[in-house]
């Protein structure tokens, strides 16, 4: 069995697992994003989020979701490969894919103790904060300053190497 098979779950499968962790007194933090062209900002965000709970779930925007939010030229890396890359990171315990424009439905289904967002947010402006608060969860901000972004990396690559 490959690593992605060990960590990737459907949202329904993951709902059962997170409920089991909760029943055992273990905590869960959920992070979300496209994780396209993984970079050091992603790693710092994931590592700090993992410090907040026993289990880290990465909810990954599907290719459909990334295209809807970032345009037809994205993602650069297909969802299967993004999942495979994340599955090899020590801090990621489980992964699920989602098609929605926001992670709200995933949060409602999984009910993690914490929802971690990057430093381009504050707790007060996280779009899903009210969803998390409604079931008794908490929102936390993690990672280093937003000095790294896939969009910026794409711009640097185009600037240095041009469109070929």
Identify the pLDDT of residue 1.
Answer: 41
- Buried residues in 74-109 as b, exposed as e (16+ CB within 10 A): bbbbebeebbbbbbebebbbbbbbbeeeebbbbbee
Contacts of 49 (CB under 8 A, 6+ apart): 29, 31, 56, 91, 114, 116, 140, 142, 143
Q: Are 38 and 85 in contact (CB under 8 A)?
A: yes
Q: How far apart are CA 91 and CA 51, in angstroms?
A: 9
Identify the pLDDT of residue 150.
Answer: 67
**Percent of the chain topping pLDDT 90:** 82
Q: How far apart are the first and last CA of the chain?
A: 38
The CATH number for 142's domain is 3.40.50.620
pLDDT at 160 over 60: yes
Q: What is the mean pLDDT of residues 24-29?
A: 98
Residue among 49, 77, 45 nearest 61 (CA): 77
Q: Model confidence over 106-139: pLDDT tens digits?
A: 999 999 999 999 999 999 999 999 999 999 999 9
Q: What is the mean pLDDT of residues 18-37?
A: 97
Report the number of distinct structural domains present in the chain.
1
CB atoms within 10 A of CB 11: 14
CB atoms within 10 A of CB 3: 15
Identify the pLDDT of residue 86.
Answer: 98
Write the CA distances from 50 to 8, 29, 61, 71, integer angstroms: 17, 7, 19, 30
- Which phi and psi angles does 42 have, rounded to 5°? -60, -45
Q: Are 77 and 45 in contact (CB under 8 A)?
A: no
Q: Model confidence over 46-96: pLDDT tens digits?
A: 999 999 999 999 999 999 999 999 999 999 999 999 999 999 999 999 999
What is the extent of the structural domain holding 17? 3-161
Q: What is the average pLDDT value for the chain, to the nearest integer?
A: 92
């Amino acid at each position: 069995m490959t690593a992605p098979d060990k960590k990737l779950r459907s949202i329904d499968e993951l709902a059962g697992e997170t409920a089991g962790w909760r029943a055992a007194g273990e905590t869960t933090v959920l992070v979300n994003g496209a994780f396209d062209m993984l970079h050091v900002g992603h790693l710092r965000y994931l590592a700090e989020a993992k410090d907040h709970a026993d289990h880290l779930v990465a909810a990954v925007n599907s290719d459909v979701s990334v295209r809807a939010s970032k345009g037809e030229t994205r993602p650069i890396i297909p969802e299967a490969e993004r999942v495979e890359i994340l599955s090899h990171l020590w801090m990621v315990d489980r992964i699920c894919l989602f098609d929605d424009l926001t992670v709200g439905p995933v949060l409602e289904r999984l009910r993690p103790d914490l929802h971690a967002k990057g430093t381009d947010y504050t707790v007060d402006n996280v779009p899903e904060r009210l969803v998390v608060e409604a079931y008794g969860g908490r929102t936390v901000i993690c990672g280093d300053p937003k000095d790294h972004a896939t969009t910026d990396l794409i711009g640097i690559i185009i600037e240095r190497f041009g469109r070929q």
